[in-house]
Structure 1
Amino acid sequence: MSDAVSRRGFFSAFARTFQKKAAPAPPVDPTAVAESATPRTAIIQGRFCIALTSFCAACVERCPVPGAMSRDRGLPMVHADVCTGCGICHDVCPAPRNAVLMLPRRTPTPTPTA
């Protein structure tokens, strides 16, 4: 009787020969991560938003920052000056193609004084 090997078993064994052993990750200092992280803000892509064609307010309802998001004529709106960039609205968006983008926050350019 021969030992039969399934395709899944064959490819799993084959892939193991090429996989590297992962080194343990060094401990992460949360204060260093917060300082090095680029501040972000949410942007709503209206063409992908479900609220454009039906009722949806998942991002507005779940935003933890008071006043960062509101609804204007049924569509969600982000107030960039209040948004902390936590990304919860991005995570809860039910649209097939996520309507919430998280982009780096623009820093205001200083106006030249004459």
Structure 2
Amino acid sequence: MLPSLHTDDLHADELADRIADLIAELGDTPDAIAHHLAEAGVTGRRADATCCPVANYLRRAEPCITDVDVYGDTIDAWTVTGVLAHVLAPDEIHEFVTLFDTQRYPHLIGAAR
């Protein structure tokens, strides 16, 4: 896993790059993403942009992120200092979220955060 960012002088583009890097680590197919999340012990709630497994993974992987909304095709993340990053999610994240919300990966359904 990549080292955490420092929030003192963090810019939105740095946060967006960090999110893109973390997302890339998950894999390039919905099944690979599900496997990586399961291996990491990350779960979430279906149809909940703030507490899906991808959102929970991002908060866990990057402590400076306090809030995340994963809408499938976009990811919005905020830091403790109020920095907002808006990231276009790759197709495999959109596909994973869609499949997760339709119960394709029931082993990833669990408590929020």
Normalised to the residue count of structure 1, the TM-score between the two structures is 0.22
Normalised to the residue count of structure 2, the TM-score between the two structures is 0.22
Q: Which protein has the larger Cα radius of gyration, Structure 1 or Structure 2?
A: 1
Q: Which of the pair is proportionally richer in helix?
A: 2
